[in-house]
Homo-oligomer: A and B are copies of this chain.
Amino acid sequence: MLLYYLDLAGVAVFAASGVIAARDRGLDAFGLLVVAAVTAIGGGTLRDLLLDRHPIFWISDSWYVIVIIAAAALTVAYLRFWPAPRTPLLVADALGLGLFALSGAQVAEAAQCPPLIVILLGTMTGVTGGVLRDVLTAQVPLILRREIYATAAVSGIAVYLGLGAFGVAQPIALAVGMLVVVILRLLAVRRDLHLPALGRA
């Protein structure tokens, strides 16, 4: 039940982020909707495919598609009548990252995956929607930019697992984990926070 609302919320914010990313590409209404839908359902679909959960979360329940259409329409309307906030894509993406990273982690945990794999699956669930969006709209994936990104997802999931190990109730642990992801990510964008880059000699 909790998972259901997590997924609905993640779908809504990622749909909005898809519209924002695609808005200057000259797409018509249905083109925007397809980009929004793929962004919105990408991460959760990968999660369900990898864990062999069928039917895939959005396939037997029309509400997901309705939420995508509504979120996309509201985003279009908002962008038309109000000045866009400076970083709307980054905010919507941060929320989607947090929601889906924790939803992926929770499902992987329920499927008895070991902790390292809970972290990997949660992170992949969180980042996939955004990567698909960026590839579809031919932009450099956010995950490649310099500020904390995957690190935010990994940290939030680790906090969730840690709190669970200390006996904190799951809804609270999920909420705290999600907040960690979103706050880390937004701070990173605001203040250009980043860990030291690796790989360069």
Contacts and interface: CB of A to CB of B under 8 A. Distances in A.
Interface residues of A, number: 69
A65 B120 contact: yes
Contacts of A112: 60
B201 A33 contact: no
Interface stretch (A3-11, A92-100, A146-154, A164-172): A146-154
A201 B111 CA distance: 46
Nearest to A139: B138
Output the residue of A34, A76, A127 with the most chain B CB within 10 A: A34
A200 B23 contact: yes
A31 interface: yes
Output the residue of A26, A45, A56, A62 with the most chain B CB within 10 A: A26
B199 A123 contact: no
B30 A151 contact: yes
Interface string A125-140: 0010001000111101
A173 interface: no
Given A32-B199, A33-B150, A34-B150, 10 more contacts: A22-B199, A23-B198, A26-B145, A26-B146, A31-B151, A34-B123, A34-B127, A62-B116, A137-B144, A138-B144
28 contacts: A22-B144, A22-B199, A23-B199, A24-B199, A26-B145, A26-B146, A26-B194, A27-B144, A27-B146, A27-B198, A28-B194, A28-B198, A29-B195, A31-B151, A32-B199, A33-B150, A34-B127, A37-B124, A50-B59, A59-B113, A60-B112, A62-B116, A65-B117, A76-B199, A79-B201, A81-B201, A131-B136, A135-B135
